[in-house]
Amino acid sequence: MKFHKEGYASLLIVLVFSAILIFIGHHFFPTYAVAHWFAYILSAFLTIIIVQFFRDPTREFKTGDNLIIAPADGKVVVIEETTELEYFKDKRLQVSIFMSPVNVHINRYPISGLVTFFKYHPGKFLAAWEPKSSTDNERTTIVVKHANGTEILFRQIAGALARRIVWYVKEGDKAEQCGEMGFIKFGSRVDLFFPIGTKLNVKIGDVVRGSQSVLGEL
């Protein structure tokens, strides 16, 4: 288990806040043990929250040239045919994974290939389960082209709590299946768009693990 690099700033803020809180408790309320315990408990709680949120667990990656691997931890909340309007502009099979605050929030490439499209969209912060969050919220759009010519589009989508999307990708990059491509802070969702007829291995309500669960097959 490691601590992800995206969490260093948040951890520093919590540690500084905790030090100030404990100082106030001891300096202004020296005889009130309850104030001291409150400061200690709140500081420990906030530190644990940050550490668990930015955890980077050691995992044995599931890979396969014809497999589509989950790019994030979470629950499958959408499986439907829809029209993808930004890149493909045609009918696609959409699979959406909702990431709660307790999930690991590292995002990974679902397949290997070439990054043929990338775009960042500023936007709103609607709740991640709202249908319009896929098109109205702050988000990124990434398209990876597999060696067999199949392209898969996926989006990092911010939510009501998730106010920062991080990505490590640009057009022309070589994507490596299960390789880290980004991070979403404090919960949200990832949408994937597959060709119609793609064989899926998941159903709505399934809980998946990034880099380990197989969503479907090319």
Q: Compute the distance between CA of residue 139 and CA of residue 168 in angstroms, rounded to an integer.
A: 14
Q: Compute the distance between CA of residue 92 and CA of residue 183 in angstroms, rounded to an integer.
A: 25
User: What SS3 state is found at 126?
Assistant: coil
Q: Compute the distance between CA of residue 9 and CA of residue 3 in angstroms, rounded to an integer.
A: 12
Which 8-state DSSP code applies to residue 72?
Answer: S
| 100-71-55 Cα angle (round to 5) | 55
* Cross-strand bridge partners of residue 137: 124
Residue 32: count other Cβ atoms within 10 Å of its Cβ. Answer: 12
* Cross-strand bridge partners of residue 194: 93
Could you confirm whether 188 is annotated as catalytic? yes
Number of H helices, E strands in the chain: 3, 16
Catalytic residue among 43, 133, 188, 211: 188
Indicate which residues carry an active-site annotation. 188
